[in-house]
C-alpha cells in the first residue's frame, strides 16, 4: 500500500499571501489529521477530518482551515500568511476517527518570507 503523500514538499511564500497544502491518505483510511511542527512549539494538532466533517480542532486562529473530500483526500489552507507560520506541516491518516494508529506523511516545509 502506498503511504500518506503530501504535496508540495517545499513551499516559499511571502507575508500576506495564502497557501493550500494537500494530503492523500492511505487507501481505505477515512480520517485525516493535520499537525504543525516548529522548533519552538514542537508538534501541535491543527484539526481532524472524518467523512468530510471536521471532528476536532486545535488552538489555531481562523486563518487556518481545512476540508476533506469524498475520496478522503484533504487540504489545509492558511490565509494572510505570517512569518510565524513557517513550519513543517504534517498530515496523518487513520482508518477512522478515534484511538486508531495514525500514519504520517513526510510533511510540507513552508517558509514565509
Partner 1 sequence: DAKTTQPNSMESNEEEPVHLPCNHSTISGTDYIHWYRQLPSQGPEYVIHGLTSNVNNRMASLAIAEDRKSSTLILHRATLRDAAVYYCILIYSNTGKLIFGQGTTLQVKP
Instruction: Identify the residue among 25, 26, 35, 110 touching partner 1 (CB under 8 A).
Output: 35
Cell of 30: 477515512
In the region spanning residues 71 to 100, those forming contacts with partner 1, defined by CB under 8 A, are 90, 92, 94, 97-100
Burial classification of residue 76, based on how many CB atoms lie within 10 Å of its CB (0-12 exposed, 13-18 middle, 19 or more buried): buried
| Residue 60 near residue 85, CB atoms below 8 Å | no
Hey, which residues between 4 and 33 contact partner 1 (CB under 8 A)? 31, 33
Nearest approach in angstroms of CB 39 to partner 1 is: 12
Question: Using CA atoms, how far apart are residues 3 and 92, in angstroms rounded to an integer?
Answer: 10
Stretch in the footprint of partner 1 (CB under 8 A) among 19-27, 66-74, 76-84, 104-112 = 104-112
Amino acid at each position: 500500500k502506498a503511504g500518506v503523500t503530501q504535496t508540495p514538499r517545499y513551499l516559499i511564500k511571502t507575508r500576506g499571501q495564502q497557501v493550500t497544502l494537500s494530503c492523500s491518505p492511505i487507501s481505505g483510511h477515512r480520517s485525516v489529521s493535520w499537525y504543525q511542527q516548529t522548533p519552538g512549539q514542537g508538534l501541535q494538532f491543527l484539526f481532524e477530518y472524518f467523512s468530510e466533517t471536521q471532528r476536532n480542532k486545535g488552538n489555531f486562529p481562523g486563518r487556518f482551515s481545512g476540508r476533506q473530500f469524498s475520496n478522503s483526500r484533504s487540504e489545509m489552507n492558511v490565509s494572510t500568511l505570517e512569518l510565524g507560520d513557517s513550519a513543517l506541516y504534517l498530515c496523518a491518516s487513520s482508518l477512522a476517527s478515534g484511538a486508531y494508529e495514525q500514519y504520517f506523511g513526510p510533511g510540507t516545509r513552508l517558509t514565509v518570507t
